[in-house]
Chain A
């Protein structure tokens, strides 16, 4: 029995571990001689987590370069999210951002510096002064490797704290108590030994990151398969606002690899086939630094109008890109402040950004929605009756969760902030639960109530592990003789099929027709194929195909929920552009979608509820950039 199991070791999971261990409650507990039993499970070695790929910055109103105010950051976050932001949560985000960034620095992050030694800050899309005025330098950065710096620093601090990791373990099940009221642990597959383990825990925190692999073109790593969100769905829980996926405007053509927004912050300009710097037309005053959803939609509009360009590598291919023109940036300055961007372009496009135009297209980047959590990281159910019921001991943080501070569209610089800040808060609230009743408390060992409660959790976990072992055995038994061949019989091929299906249906824009087509394909082809997948090798140790099969199944369930939520929201807001419902509709949809999948084998209809947005002091207005 663990006090807490943290699933995922990126910025959110590691922040939660540190927030927990450094809390006053746990410090006192340790002084009393009781060690907390904490385990961090990750499907990757922690340093491989996708946090490390974040390039641009982390937003905070430090005011190191020019005057800034957290109220402005708060306003920008709400407006950027097209008013689908819970304003109480966004207040916390903006107010505690300086503390969060300063503490990252004090733990070792190698931030870029001003000449007087303070943390340097740069402009980022959507961040303004005076409530929507001039752009402001708010994004703290470390050249263009802020994610790498933060990830490594947090891991280093976890080494200092002696955090215990289970690396390259894949969590297959979230286990709840029998009545579903609380967390009981997880079931995990140790990919090294090829063995399934029940991991009993009184508290579970999910911090598994996003789900970019739902789409063919994505900036996300191969591992971002929406695992935590799918685990919640499989446990019968809801996802909030899962229809909102941010497409980052500048993915390098035909790779999807991200070119940081910093490229435009430093002077890069988007141009269409005619050479026109078109963003000024769509977002006067903000132009290339408008919010990401605005820029992505503008790019798609240019492409739809026939003003797109073909990837020079594939000149006869579709004209589905536009140019990123960085030739106006001084080449030395470019190398100094955008080394990663320059390297990516040189390496993967084989061109020189100081002389050549760079072909880019929008790339699936961030899921604004996720597991619904309170501002203290507690997962909850939204009830028909209109109230939140917390799932005891279940927490979530980072991209797999939804607080919701990003609403319908996330501002650049707010994702690392969300992960670190609300990850820390979630860790602290777990600490409170643990300190009141630690597993290692010697005085409680004979308490019959406690023993019985733990026993019940353990039984639930063992049952789930037994079922998962049977599933593993079936996967390893190999394909049936009459099994289908080709892409659908292979998880990697099936993932590609799912990616192109979802991209056609939902990328940047959608309609009832595109959604219905994808739902049909999911129900008739991809879903059944995923269920029929078997591994082609019987050795369980390091059998990546087994993990990939579970990942595809996770993605399929998540696609189901995302399509249902997209169909249900009959308006256009933030990243969701419904071609058949082009206007925002605050009358009906100033509310979070709460999507729950029907139990397996039941009728496929997902259940959709609506939770009102928390408006504090910024009433909805037209969102203009």
Chain B
């Protein structure tokens, strides 16, 4: 992965967390069929779960490894797993920004590990490295002893990694994003139309596709590209701050169907988000827009759906 010429290094400061060995804690996980079943529509606004304090040991661990500016942070973490510390836990899968597994806080800002390059995110160490804006405690790194640049392996700098804000940590960089998925599920995130499906007989289908003009597609196409990674949620001060808010991701999904010319339930969908923890909770901070890996202008879309709900 690293070329033999011009070896550089990077230092990763990773917020780690080891859960206390489980004594069948009472945790109703929607992802587990053997946990107590909760309501099929999730746990209210989900903000209760977001505020639950994790129990376990927390510390910050530093890793200094060879790396190049064009490497992604995920590349670096994989190098650590392979060559330094196989116990470090973080979600990852496709490695190129499509699966949405690997949202974490990079230098305090929610982003995907696999799209963040060192060129953009490695910071030159400064003398006063304050705790980050999101209020994450850095328990062990008061004195910043980042390795000084030396001639043999010049450092590209430091990257700080912590789990996605707004969600309870489960282990190291893995956070429990079920509250977000519950909120998405709560708003009937599926096309509601006639429901009739085609069948084939004698080589011919009996029903055709719904017609949709390219202009109609354009009204929701980008919204349908959301990968539910949670970056917008972790960036939203209302959501991550723990207020009762269904969150930008669920609203994007709702808006995706409201704007789909094939869907027949736009009114009911808008009723469902016209609640104190729905569109009313958005404070138009627009922090949700900045790092969206799919390039969705989440803040603007929030604005649009709020207006649409008000005008209906």
Q: How far is the CA of A96 from the CA of B201 in the complex (A)?
A: 9
Residue of B nearest to A486 (CB): B83
Whether A106 contacts B189 by the Cβ 8 Å rule is no
Residues of A within 8 A of B181 (CB): 45
Per-position 1/0 for B179-203, Cβ under 8 A of A: 0010001001111011011111001
Q: How far is the CA of A222 from the CA of B99 in the complex (A)?
A: 11
Residues of B within 8 A of A168 (CB): 31
Closest CB in chain A relative to B257 CB, distance in Å: 8
Whether A98 contacts B200 by the Cβ 8 Å rule is yes
Q: Does A404 contact B (CB under 8 A)?
A: no
Q: Does A194 contact B (CB under 8 A)?
A: yes
Q: How far is the CA of A168 from the CA of B97 in the complex (A)?
A: 19
Considering only CB atoms and an 8 Å cut-off, how many residues of chain A contact the other chain?
85
Determine which of B5, B32, B86, B171 lies in contact with A490 in the assembled complex, contact meaning CB atoms within 8 Å.
B86
- Chain B contact-residue range equals 35 or more
Residue of B nearest to A97 (CB): B200
Whether A487 contacts B188 by the Cβ 8 Å rule is no
Whether B19 contacts A539 by the Cβ 8 Å rule is yes
Whether A145 contacts B225 by the Cβ 8 Å rule is yes
Q: Does A514 contact B (CB under 8 A)?
A: no
Per-position 1/0 for A517-561, Cβ under 8 A of B: 000000000000000000111010111110010000000000000
Closest CB in chain B relative to A216 CB, distance in Å: 11
Residues of B within 8 A of A585 (CB): none
Determine which of B94, B172, B212 lies in contact with A113 in the assembled complex, contact meaning CB atoms within 8 Å.
B212
Interface residues of A in 27-65 (CB under 8 A from B): 39, 44-45, 47-50, 52-53
Q: Does B291 contact A (CB under 8 A)?
A: no
Q: How far is the CA of A365 from the CA of B160 in the complex (A)?
A: 34
Closest CB in chain A relative to B177 CB, distance in Å: 8
Q: Does B121 contact A (CB under 8 A)?
A: no
Whether B33 contacts A347 by the Cβ 8 Å rule is no
Interface residues of B in 160-177 (CB under 8 A from A): 170-172, 174, 177
Residues of B within 8 A of A156 (CB): 189-191
Whether B171 contacts A541 by the Cβ 8 Å rule is yes
Residues of B within 8 A of A45 (CB): 31, 101, 177, 181
Whether A50 contacts B210 by the Cβ 8 Å rule is no
Per-position 1/0 for A152-170, Cβ under 8 A of B: 1100110110101111110
Given A47-B100, A113-B213, A164-B33, verify A70-B82 contact (CB < 8 Å). no
Q: Does B49 contact A (CB under 8 A)?
A: no
Per-position 1/0 for B18-41, Cβ under 8 A of A: 110110000001011110000010
Whether B191 contacts A53 by the Cβ 8 Å rule is no
Q: Does B135 contact A (CB under 8 A)?
A: no
Q: Does A588 contact B (CB under 8 A)?
A: no
Residue of B nearest to A62 (CB): B209
Q: Does B221 contact A (CB under 8 A)?
A: yes
Whether B33 contacts A118 by the Cβ 8 Å rule is no
Q: Does B217 contact A (CB under 8 A)?
A: yes
Whether A536 contacts B196 by the Cβ 8 Å rule is no
Determine which of A99, A117, A148, A543 lies in contact with B205 in the assembled complex, contact meaning CB atoms within 8 Å.
A99
Whether A44 contacts B96 by the Cβ 8 Å rule is no
Determine which of B22, B93, B212 lies in contact with A48 in the assembled complex, contact meaning CB atoms within 8 Å.
B93
Residues of B within 8 A of A197 (CB): 34
Given A105-B210, A113-B214, A116-B211, verify A166-B32 contact (CB < 8 Å). yes
Determine which of A106, A165, A257, A541 lies in contact with B197 in the assembled complex, contact meaning CB atoms within 8 Å.
A106
Whether B220 contacts A110 by the Cβ 8 Å rule is yes
Per-position 1/0 for B259-293, Cβ under 8 A of A: 01010000000000000000000000000000000
Determine which of B210, B217, B227, B260 lies in contact with A106 in the assembled complex, contact meaning CB atoms within 8 Å.
B210
Closest CB in chain B relative to A49 CB, distance in Å: 8
Determine which of A222, A316, A541 lies in contact with B95 in the assembled complex, contact meaning CB atoms within 8 Å.
A222
Q: Does A192 contact B (CB under 8 A)?
A: yes
Residues of B within 8 A of A340 (CB): 98
Q: Does A119 contact B (CB under 8 A)?
A: yes
Closest CB in chain A relative to B171 CB, distance in Å: 4
Q: Does A344 contact B (CB under 8 A)?
A: yes
Whether A347 contacts B213 by the Cβ 8 Å rule is no
Whether A541 contacts B99 by the Cβ 8 Å rule is no
Closest CB in chain A relative to B39 CB, distance in Å: 12
Interface residues of B in 220-268 (CB under 8 A from A): 220-221, 224-225, 227-228, 260, 262
Determine which of B86, B193, B199, B217 lies in contact with A99 in the assembled complex, contact meaning CB atoms within 8 Å.
B199
Given A45-B181, A98-B200, A166-B33, verify A491-B86 contact (CB < 8 Å). yes
Determine which of A108, A164, A166, A537 lies in contact with B87 in the assembled complex, contact meaning CB atoms within 8 Å.
A537
Q: Does B151 contact A (CB under 8 A)?
A: no
Q: Does A493 contact B (CB under 8 A)?
A: yes
Q: How far is the CA of A537 from the CA of B88 in the complex (A)?
A: 10
Q: How far is the CA of A22 from the CA of B198 in the complex (A)?
A: 13
Q: How far is the CA of A83 from the CA of B173 in the complex (A)?
A: 48
Given A160-B188, A190-B32, A536-B87, verify A119-B96 contact (CB < 8 Å). no
Q: Does A223 contact B (CB under 8 A)?
A: yes
Q: Does A605 contact B (CB under 8 A)?
A: no
Given A157-B190, A221-B94, A542-B89, verify A102-B208 contact (CB < 8 Å). yes
Q: How far is the CA of A536 from the CA of B194 in the complex (A)?
A: 54
Determine which of A103, A487, A542, A544 lies in contact with B19 in the assembled complex, contact meaning CB atoms within 8 Å.
A542
Closest CB in chain A relative to B260 CB, distance in Å: 8
Whether A53 contacts B31 by the Cβ 8 Å rule is no
Closest CB in chain A relative to B203 CB, distance in Å: 6
Interface residues of A in 249-265 (CB under 8 A from B): 255, 257
Closest CB in chain A relative to B204 CB, distance in Å: 8
Whether B22 contacts A112 by the Cβ 8 Å rule is no
Q: How far is the CA of A344 from the CA of B224 in the complex (A)?
A: 19
Closest CB in chain B relative to A17 CB, distance in Å: 14
Q: Does B153 contact A (CB under 8 A)?
A: no
Residues of B within 8 A of A113 (CB): 212-214, 217
Interface residues of B in 69-116 (CB under 8 A from A): 70, 78, 81-83, 85-87, 89, 91-101, 115
Residues of A within 8 A of B211 (CB): 116-118
Residues of B within 8 A of A281 (CB): none
Determine which of B101, B198, B225 lies in contact with A148 in the assembled complex, contact meaning CB atoms within 8 Å.
B225
Q: How far is the CA of A347 from the CA of B216 in the complex (A)?
A: 30
Q: Does B207 contact A (CB under 8 A)?
A: yes
Determine which of B194, B203, B220, B260 lies in contact with A95 in the assembled complex, contact meaning CB atoms within 8 Å.
B203
Residues of B within 8 A of A344 (CB): 96
Q: How far is the CA of A507 from the CA of B188 in the complex (A)?
A: 45
Q: Does B3 contact A (CB under 8 A)?
A: yes
Closest CB in chain B relative to A519 CB, distance in Å: 24
Whether A222 contacts B92 by the Cβ 8 Å rule is yes
Q: Does A178 contact B (CB under 8 A)?
A: no
Q: Does A278 contact B (CB under 8 A)?
A: no
Among B91, B99, B193, B207, the one with the most A-chain Cβ atoms within 10 Å of its Cβ is B99
Whether A542 contacts B171 by the Cβ 8 Å rule is yes
Interface residues of B in 1-59 (CB under 8 A from A): 3, 5, 18-19, 21-22, 29, 31-34, 40
Given A47-B228, A166-B33, A545-B87, verify A108-B171 contact (CB < 8 Å). no
Determine which of B95, B101, B174, B260 lies in contact with A542 in the assembled complex, contact meaning CB atoms within 8 Å.
B174
Ranked 4 nearest A-B pairs via Cβ: A117-B211, A108-B191, A167-B31, A542-B171
- 29 residue pairs from A and B, CB less than 8 Å apart: A45-B31, A47-B228, A48-B94, A53-B98, A99-B199, A102-B207, A102-B209, A103-B197, A106-B210, A108-B191, A110-B220, A113-B213, A115-B213, A118-B211, A119-B209, A190-B32, A190-B34, A222-B94, A316-B3, A344-B96, A347-B115, A492-B82, A493-B82, A496-B82, A535-B86, A537-B18, A537-B87, A541-B171, A542-B170
Give B residues with C-beta under 8 Å from A: 3, 5, 18-19, 21-22, 29, 31-34, 40, 70, 78, 81-83, 85-87, 89, 91-101, 115, 117, 170-172, 174, 177, 181, 185, 188-191, 193-194, 196-200, 203, 205, 207-214, 216-217, 220-221, 224-225, 227-228, 260, 262
Identify 14 new A-B residue pairs, CB closer than 8 A, beyond the known A45-B181, A164-B33.
A53-B98, A106-B191, A106-B209, A108-B191, A119-B209, A159-B185, A257-B95, A316-B5, A490-B81, A490-B86, A537-B87, A541-B22, A542-B89, A542-B171
